[in-house]
Amino acid sequence: MPCLKGYPVSDTPDTRQPTLLLGQTLSFTANPFEVPFEDAVSHETVGAVLIRDGQIAAVGQAETLRALNPTAKVIDYGKGLIMAGFVDAHVHYPQTAMIASWGKRLIDWLNSYTFPEEMRFASKTYAADIAGRYLDLTKAHGTTTVASYCTIHPVSVDALFEEAQKRGQRVVAGKTCMDRNAPEGLMDTAQTAYDQSKQLLQAWHGVDRISYAITPRFSPTSTPEQLDAMGALWAEHPDCLMQTHLSEQTDEIDWVLGMFPDARDYLDTYEKFGLLGERGLYGHAIHLTDRERARLKETGAGLVHCPTSNTFIGSGLFDMQGLMAEGHNVGLATDTGGGSSFSMLRTMAAAYEVGQLRHNPLHASQLLWLATQGSARSLHLDDKIGNLAAGMEADLVVLDLASTDAISQRSSRAEDLWESIFPTIMMGDDRAIRAVWINGKAA
């Protein structure tokens, strides 16, 4: 019987009987980058969440929901903070085992550590082992949905989706395509990238909670022919997401511009080949020109901020304030294993620190919004996940806001909700994750 830190849970929950979770509840009613934070959230100190058939049926005051649902099974988390599970909008699950590799910048880091590890995913057994390990680690950190790159091997995609399916988990992923500047054994071609991606997309997209993302790694590792093939596949399947990397390091940008002499800028190397669109997800997006910013804004594309990666690999400081003021669609991500953590709490802390270096102290409500609603919106899944609200899928995290002595001695002095949450954002880790619910079940 699984045990959530003291809460025994049946192995076979009766889906017909609703479950009522009691605790503090936090929901977003608006975007705290657009309205004052006090107008953007709804918080109940003694709140409740009603879960029925894998969905959130109601959120409200404990007393009211208890009275309305006398037959519900009640689980009381006390002062635990119940909120939407974290959504990690850009990860590389195959990099799980080489996270925290020392001393290199992007291109050297890829060649020295990443590519040798990704070669191992030719083995389905190895891929399944890492996929399971990855989903267990991220769940332990409160993450309920990820958008992941796989490797060029189709079995690496099957392995992740099969492990997600076992867990009833919503996952976005795709086969990473590369046909140049990578080791032999880690390259496909324009044609095989197209064929294999299409086959995987047809097999998996929309099955259970799985979505397929067309995934050219980045311009330096795809020939124009391969980018063109990926653009053609996306045009045939416009309901899919397309994920790639954009303007992460300045020497990477110089390399790209040398490789594509006709391109106006880095973004243009995607735009030329039909790889710029509203359902496009552009990881990092740090060193953008005015034209790139304008085009990204115009298309409503998703930009994914990866702060622990951007500091760990030494890439630069994402312009959150400027991009949000312009109305960009921004998500938050660990970028494991360029990122140095599996934790969205740690990632929010890094986003705060990067903000401070740019003289923009993000508010706790903005950090939590980015890690849930913002990321879900960038994945075009905000009608399903990323908020604690009736009608959403029941992917939840329960935070212990006093999980360590260091945090508890600080949060005990808090004078308001945000002061009680901020120490957990800045200092919390998997010990702060009291429970996780995925698809309406204790995970």
Residues that bind ligand GUN (CB under 6 A): 92, 106, 110, 114, 217-218, 245, 248, 309, 313, 335, 338
> What does the per-residue mask of binding to Fe ion show for 260-299, with x meaning CB under 5 A?
-----------------------x----------------
- Shortest distance (Å) from residue 216 CB to ligand GUN: 10
Torsion, Cα 298 35 84 98, to 10 degrees, reads 50
Residue pair 316/310 in contact (Cβ under 8 Å)? The answer is yes
Q: Which is nearer to ligand GUN, 335 or 395 (CB)?
A: 335
- Shortest distance (Å) from residue 89 CB to Fe ion: 11
Residue 16 DSSP SS3: coil
Q: Which is nearer to ligand GUN, 167 or 217 (CB)?
A: 217
Binder of residue 217, out of Fe ion, ligand GUN, none (CB less than 5 to 8 A by kind): ligand GUN
Dist. CA 420–CA 119, nearest whole Å: 45
Dist. CA 438–CA 145, nearest whole Å: 9
Binder of residue 248, out of ligand GUN, Fe ion, none (CB less than 5 to 8 A by kind): ligand GUN
Q: Using CB under 5 A, which of 335, 393, 395, 400 touches Fe ion?
A: 335
Q: Which is nearer to ligand GUN, 66 or 104 (CB)?
A: 104
Residue pair 150/188 in contact (Cβ under 8 Å)? The answer is no
- Shortest distance (Å) from residue 14 CB to ligand GUN: 43
State which amino acid sits at residue 34. E
Q: Which is nearer to ligand GUN, 179 or 335 (CB)?
A: 335
Q: Which is nearer to ligand GUN, 116 or 206 (CB)?
A: 116
Residue pair 387/365 in contact (Cβ under 8 Å)? The answer is no
Report which residue's Cβ sits closest to ligand GUN.
338
* By CB under 5 A, residue 88 contacts Fe ion: no
Q: Which is nearer to ligand GUN, 145 or 310 (CB)?
A: 310
Binder of residue 114, out of ligand GUN, Fe ion, none (CB less than 5 to 8 A by kind): ligand GUN
Burial of 62 (0-12, 13-18, 19+ CB in 10 A): buried
Residue pair 260/269 in contact (Cβ under 8 Å)? The answer is yes
Q: Which residue has the tokens 């699984």?
A: 2
- Shortest distance (Å) from residue 275 CB to ligand GUN: 14
Neighbours of 35 (CB within 10 A): 11
| Strand ranges of the sheet holding 73-84, from the earlier edge strand across to the other edge | 55-61, 41-52, 19-28, 73-84, 396-399, 433-438, 441-442
Interacting residues with Fe ion (CB under 5 A)? 283, 335
